[in-house]
Structure 1
């Protein structure tokens, strides 16, 4: 994972989660507590409510992200930049200052007047943005965004039916489109990626955002730090039926999840609470094996991969054979209610040298004891009479249980091997596909 130095602030796996506090100098912004157009009042807010509460980065917005409002021109944003610069110069706290803009002219002016990094909400749609950021040696957050009237964004309308027809082996979704959009227009050496949560287009749904958060680990496939902006977003509010003012708890829950899944920067209006939630997420993130590379040594980094699709993202980054992803992840399924033919088929298909590679089946102990075995002499009177067959009767009536442990490739091969033996088993194995992406 590439780490980014943002004016001395480290961002990436080698560093704690960073908190980006929000200041808006736009009266049109949707969340009033962060809106200031007076530099003195804005500076006081930044010192007390942002930096004072633990913000590592102060992100200054010059216009509202509301898609229903007209997009400001570069000239209009430059007119508002004076307020942002006066605020920066009036604060006493220490933080990295970020300017939110889509225009290279605004970024260049802001970086020349004291700002440290850029938050590009249009995914380098301005072709000069990467050059400007590189010339200033500035970190830049690149958001995958939809088109707007002024400049095309990174995301275009996608014909899902045509895409699926071209690649029938895969089902495409909004999260896939966002992932691909992030690569458009390239990267700088200090690019941080933002998968664009929120209502950036009319066609986008709350389900799209939820899928993106669910699959956030995939976005680590680019090997670059991730920024997420999920504070009080509608896709979270609707889960719990909360208004914007009531949405802090759901935002904090999602923050912990995002950091645990690989986010490095959390953009928020609620700095202190979000900082705590991010630290909790970081504490319970997987402790991966990592070692640096000195001269002559081999570097090791254990990737946080939980699905085959996540493995494919890393293989694509390395331009390696993505078929290897089929062996990259082991899944465990508990199967219950297995009829006797299904048990026999699973045991035969996974046992010995002829068994399916990448698949193991372990039968529960009681069911194993009750399963038919070699014929034995009938018990004598001294053995206590007739044997207790209750376990066998229970297994016959309720079915057996066991664990199926397999890679995606092993699961597919197993399905081919045992197909048709038992309808309930066929249905169960098909069901395992739902969570194996």
Structure 2
């Protein structure tokens, strides 16, 4: 039976344990040992086996040249007419490049998507998705914007066109289950990839999502997809994980995953958290309109940082950058005067 180790993330003084996943400000000295259908046991990190300690504490590799010892922002740039919160806002080349220029001062990575994967969304034809994304990426590079770019797609041909146009990594919400050939492309180009958990397809994923144990099932899925990626030649240090908040999950599932976000460190890979403006934030925060969910989005993003999440995928890049600066000032490890 699989045992999962969940580090208990801590911030602030006294700093009495090793860094969590190489973080400059988040540390850990205790873990929760979890097994399916058994009581959770708290143990000292020092009493864990050396490979387990290393998996939980080792610094994560840089992403697109960006170190992950502190929280990083991935700015969302949807060039679609129907995305749930910003559909149509950046659908023209001019508005997309203008927004990318703004993000370049606020975000560490820009994530460009040409197909909405919101609940109920229909699949976009490959040629149309390429038309929407590749030209925008090329225009961003022609404008002299050098910020790393991620292509948010499930499809190998779309990713190939994006990488040719100047993208640096792939963000696959289907974790290679929609188009396994995408894994071969990622391996061939030797670029980073984010693998996200989702239950079902966007058209139907929110109809009636069910889990026996959402924590274990998300972890098992991600571990399986990581193994698949490695079997296709993708280096482990090129992989990022995402629990897929809002993708085939009820409000209760989302909250359970967020409360236990640090469990993902047991995979030994960087964690990307994408919660910006999502429906559960509106449900809890009583904000029906997605664009009114910035405050709630910031609250969950800061929670993610305290659990050691390395990358925050957000729409409101300026506000998130400001919030992180303030949080980091409060969390910063005090230097000894001795």
Q: TM-score, normalised by structure 1?
A: 0.56
Q: 1:175 aligns with which of 205, 215, 218?
A: 215
Structure 1 residue 196 displacement after superposition: 0.3
Structure 1 residue 113 displacement after superposition: 2.1
Q: 1:216 aligns with which of 233, 254, 261?
A: 261
* 2:133 equivalent to 1:81: yes
Kindly provide the CA deviation profile for residues 399-425 of structure 1, in whole angstroms up to 9, marking residues without a partner as x. xxxxxxxxxxxxxxxxxxxxxxxxxxx
* 2:117 equivalent to 1:70: no
Aligned to 2:60: 3
Q: Is the 8 A contact 1:260 1:284 kept in 2?
A: no
Aligned to 1:272: 318
Where structure 1 has 5 or more consecutive residues not aligned to the other structure, the ranges are: 161-172, 288-437
Kindly provide the CA deviation profile for residues 214-245 of structure 1, in whole angstroms up to 9, marking residues without a partner as x. 00010010010000011122222222212323
Aligned to 1:340: none
Structure 1 residue 281 displacement after superposition: 4.7
Where structure 2 has 5 or more consecutive residues not aligned to the other structure, the ranges are: 1-57, 334-338
Q: 2:185 aligns with which of 111, 132, 143?
A: 132
Q: 1:193 aligns with which of 226, 236, 241?
A: 241
Separation in 2, partners of 1:212, 1:25: 29
Q: Is the 8 A contact 2:79 2:113 kept in 1?
A: yes
Structure 1 residue 143 displacement after superposition: 0.7
Question: For the structure 1 residues 34 and 139, does the alpha-carbon distance in structure 2 shift closer, same or farther, using more than 3 Å as the test?
Answer: farther
Structure 1 residue 149 displacement after superposition: 8.4
Structure 1 residue 283 displacement after superposition: 5.3
Structure 1 residue 140 displacement after superposition: 0.9
Q: Is the 8 A contact 2:81 2:88 kept in 1?
A: no
Separation in 2, partners of 1:122, 1:251: 23
Structure 1 residue 99 displacement after superposition: 0.3
Bigger relative contact order (CA 8 A; separation at least 6)? 2
Q: CA RMSD in A?
A: 2.7
Separation in 2, partners of 1:149, 1:235: 16
Residues 245-260 of structure 1 mapped to structure 2, 5 A cutoff: 245-260=291-306
* 2:64 equivalent to 1:24: no
Residues 49-68 of structure 1 mapped to structure 2, 5 A cutoff: 50-52=103-105, 54-68=106-120
Aligned to 1:294: none
Question: For the structure 1 residues 2 and 110, does the alpha-carbon distance in structure 2 shift closer, same or farther, using more than 3 Å as the test?
Answer: farther
* 2:169 equivalent to 1:117: yes
Separation in 2, partners of 1:279, 1:254: 15
Kindly provide the CA deviation profile for residues 172-209 of structure 1, in whole angstroms up to 9, marking residues without a partner as x. x22221111112232432111010011x23xx211110
Separation in 1, partners of 2:131, 2:318: 32
Question: For the structure 1 residues 223 and 232, does the alpha-carbon distance in structure 2 shift closer, same or farther, using more than 3 Å as the test?
Answer: same
Q: TM-score, normalised by structure 2?
A: 0.71
Separation in 2, partners of 1:61, 1:183: 25
Aligned to 1:395: none
Q: Is the 8 A contact 1:25 1:83 kept in 2?
A: no
Structure 1 residue 285 displacement after superposition: 5.8
Residues 20-419 of structure 1 mapped to structure 2, 5 A cutoff: 20-32=74-86, 35-48=89-102, 50-52=103-105, 54-125=106-177, 126-148=179-201, 160=212, 173-185=213-225, 186=227, 187=229, 188=234, 189=236, 190-198=238-246, 200-201=247-248, 204-243=249-288, 244-282=290-328
